[in-house]
């Protein structure tokens, strides 16, 4: 299986929700950040083949990366663009089920991304 290209979703105004969440997590809880980083690396290595307990399919083409530290569950929602690209939508912590609003947010970002990948792909060289 070829390595999967990881892309961070970027809003039209330049905000990059998943990257911002990871940067904040790195500052506030380095161990949790490290666990999430391992999951992201695994996703880049095996893409569509990543399964539970590391990842799971939710609905409407949205998947979740799953990490846990103590009693806190960390989730990063993502979707695929073709066979070799994965777009990281955003991250959050959860206690039980994933809130439907979080999935809807990822579905909306997926729609935006598919309509114009170039304007919704994070690139640290061109982003304000």
pLDDT of residue 125: 57
- List of domains in the chain: 5-120 (3.30.2310.20)
> What are residue 48's DSSP bridge partners?
none
pLDDT of residue 123: 84
- The per-residue pLDDT for range 94-125, each reduced to its tens digit, is 878 899 999 999 999 999 999 999 999 998 75
pLDDT of residue 2: 66
Stronger pLDDT, 128 or 30, i.e. the higher one: 30
Structure tokens at 90: 């955003």
- The per-residue pLDDT for range 28-68, each reduced to its tens digit, is 999 999 999 999 999 999 999 999 999 999 999 999 999 99
H or E segment to which residue 119 belongs: none
- The per-residue pLDDT for range 9-34, each reduced to its tens digit, is 999 999 999 999 999 999 999 999 99
What is the pTM for the complete model shown? 0.92
Residue 87 burial by Cβ neighbours in a 10 Å radius (0-12, 13-18, 19+): buried
pLDDT of residue 127: 38
pLDDT of residue 1: 59
- The per-residue pLDDT for range 65-101, each reduced to its tens digit, is 999 999 999 999 999 998 778 999 999 998 788 999 9
Separation between Cα atoms, residue 62 and residue 50, nearest integer Å: 13
């Amino acid at each position: 299986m070829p390595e999967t290209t990881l892309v961070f979703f970027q809003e039209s105004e330049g905000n990059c929700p998943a990257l911002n969440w990871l940067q904040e997590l790195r500052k506030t809880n380095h161990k949790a950040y490290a666990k999430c980083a391992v999951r992201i690396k695994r996703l880049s290595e095996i893409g569509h083949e990543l399964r539970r307990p590391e990842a799971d399919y939710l609905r409407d083409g949205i998947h979740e990366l799953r990490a846990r530290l103590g009693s806190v569950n960390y989730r990063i929602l993502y979707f695929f663009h073709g066979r070799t690209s994965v777009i990281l939508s955003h991250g959050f912590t959860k206690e039980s089920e994933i809130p439907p609003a979080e999935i809807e947010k990822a579905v909306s970002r997926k729609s935006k991304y598919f309509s114009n990948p170039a304007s919704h792909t994070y690139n640290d060289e061109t982003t304000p």
